[in-house]
């Protein structure tokens, strides 16, 4: 069963604007969430994480928001750059065990 869902397979934004990638989960036991970025022919690259005790974590242009009541997290990229074009996976785990990934969202940032 898909415990982590990324309902948008693709997203296109203009350079300089905000990119918002969304992720929903069903398992309320998840307590650690991560975002990975993946370029073609490369393995995923860790981007940013957040534990369930927080509702926001920021790292440069990347901010992850966690809404536990809605079982929803989002990744904001501001400002978006063409180099951000990639597939983004969200992932969740219970105590760092058996990580579950979403299906990914392909972000295209147009110059």
**Interaction site with another protein (CB under 8 A):** 32, 34, 36, 41-46, 49, 89, 91, 93, 95-104
In the complex, least distance from residue 93 CB atom to another protein, rounded to whole angstroms: 6
**What's the token pair of residue 3?**
């415990």
Annotate 83-96 with b (16+ C-beta within 10 A) or e (fewer). ebbbbbbbbbbbee
Instruction: Select 15 or 89, whichever has its Cβ closest to another protein.
Output: 89
Strand-strand pairing, 10-14 and 105-110: parallel
- CB nearer to another protein: give 87 or 109: 87
Instruction: Give the shortest CB-55-to-another protein separation in angstroms.
Output: 18
Q: How far is the CB of 87 from another protein (least distance, A)?
A: 10
Compare residues 70 and 98 and give the one whose CB is closer to another protein.
Answer: 98
**Do residues 95 and 31 lie in contact, with contact meaning Cβ atoms separated by under 8 Å?**
yes
Pick the closer one to another protein by CB: 28 or 51. Answer: 51
- Which residues, including other chains, have CB under 8 Å from residue 88's CB and lie 6 or more apart? 6, 21, 35, 36, 37, 38, 47, 75, 104, 105, 106, 107
């Amino acid at each position: 069963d898909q415990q982590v869902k990324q309902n948008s397979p693709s997203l296109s934004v203009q350079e300089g604007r905000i990119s918002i990638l969304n992720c929903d989960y069903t398992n309320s036991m998840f307590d650690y969430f991560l975002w990975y970025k993946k370029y073609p022919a490369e393995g995923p690259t860790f981007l940013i994480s957040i534990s369930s005790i927080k509702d926001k974590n920021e790292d440069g242009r990347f901010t992850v928001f966690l809404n536990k009541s809605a079982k929803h997290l989002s990744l904001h990229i501001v400002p978006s750059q063409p180099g951000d074009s990639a597939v983004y996976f969200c992932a969740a785990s219970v105590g760092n065990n058996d990580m579950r990934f979403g299906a990914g969202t392909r972000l295209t940032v147009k110059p």
